[in-house]
Structure formats: structure tokens, C-alpha cells
A = this chain, B = another copy of it.
């Protein structure tokens, strides 16, 4: 009675567990009040060099719904991490940008994440990583295409 189901089910099970472990580990080192969701937003802006994006674009980038984005951005705005203003070219939309405090917060988060990241890197062989990444990118691309 230990049938783990079809391989594709096992795949998602393993991914869910790894995700759970990783998220928990990372969340535990973030500065008080910061969350992975909020760090992800900050990192997205800085990493990709985006000056500003709409909530809808963020929702699309992270594959989450717009209500979720509204909720997280509201908290980030209150914390002074992002600025939100109306889009002058579209009365429905808003434009989000990261504040100086947001940039600084991202850097602090990166410092804190460095430890757990190094720990994980240390136990995972370079070879495993090199094999895994392209495979996962392929899976993600295919699942993404499926979502229509």
C-alpha cells in the first residue's frame, strides 16, 4: 500500500515538498515583516530593471491573480516599499514603482537569503543543478503553454 501514483503525480508531489521546504527556510530569515511575496515583487523590479509596471503586469509575471496583487501591493505601499500612482495613459490602470526604501529592503533581503542559499548550494552537487535547471525550465514552459 505504498503506491505513490503515476510519475507525473510524483513529480508534482516532489516539487510541492521542495517548494515547501525552500519557502519555509527562506521566509524564516527575512527581516521582520517581510515576506517572500513582497521580496519577489522588489526583486522583480530591480532585477529586470523595470522602472514601473501595472498590477496586472505583475499578476501576469508571477502567475497570481489580480486580487492577490492588490492585497500585497497595498501592504507594500503602506510600508513605503513601493509607490503607486494612476496611469496617466489609462484611466483603469495604475503604475507601481519601487522606492529607495524598497531597493534598500531588497538588498537587505538578499544578504539574509545568502546564508540559506549557500547552505542549499553546498549540499546540492553542481552536476545535479546543471542537469535539473534545463529540465525544469522545459517543464515550466510546457505547463505554461498548457494553461489556456
Contacts and interface: CB of A to CB of B under 8 A. Distances in A.
A136 B132 contact: yes
Copies in the complex: 2
Contact of A128 (B4, B23, B138): B138
B132 A11 contact: yes
Contacts of A132: 11, 132, 135-136, 139
Contacts of A17: 63, 140
Interface stretch (A76-84, A95-103, A114-122): A114-122
Interface residues of A, number: 55
A147 interface: yes
Contact of A7 (B130, B139, B143): B130
A143 to B, nearest CB: 5
A119 to B, nearest CB: 6
A18 B48 contact: no
Contacts of A12: 19, 22, 26, 120
A145 interface: yes
Contacts of A145: 123
A124 B111 CA distance: 37
